[in-house]
Amino acid sequence: MAGMSPLHERLEHLSFLVGTWRGLGVVGYPTIEEQRYEQEVVFAHDGRPFLSYESRAWILDDDGNRAKPSARETGFWRPGKEPRDVEVMLAHPTGIVEVYVGEVVFHKIELRSDVVARTETAKSVTAFHRLYGLVEGDLAYAIDMAAVDQPLQPHLSARLRKVG
Domain that holds residue 67: 9-163
Task: Report the number of distinct structural domains present in the chain.
Answer: 1
pLDDT of 4:
72
User: Does residue 96 lie in a domain region?
Assistant: yes
Look at residues 46, 103, 31 and name the one whose alpha carbon lies nearest to residue 76: 46
pLDDT of 3:
45
Contact 92, 108 (CB under 8 A): no
User: Does residue 60 lie in a domain region?
Assistant: yes
Provide the 10 A C-beta neighbour count for residue 145. 21
Distance CA 88, CA 91 (A): 10
User: Does residue 4 lie in a domain region?
Assistant: no
User: Does residue 39 lie in a domain region?
Assistant: yes
pLDDT of 164:
80
- H/E stretch holding 72: strand 66-79
Q: Is 54 exposed, middle or buried (0-12, 13-18, 19+ CB in 10 A)?
A: middle
Provide the 10 A C-beta neighbour count for residue 160. 21
- State the amino acid at position 124 in one-letter form: S
Each residue's pLDDT, cut to its tens digit, for the chain (164 residues) gives: 554 799 999 999 999 999 999 999 999 999 999 999 999 999 999 999 999 999 999 999 999 999 999 999 999 999 999 999 999 999 999 999 999 999 999 999 999 999 999 999 999 999 999 999 999 999 999 999 999 999 999 999 999 999 98
User: Does residue 3 lie in a domain region?
Assistant: no
How many CA atoms within 13 Å lie on the side-chain side of 33?
A: 4
Distance CA 17, CA 139 (A): 8
Does this model's pTM top 0.75? My answer is yes
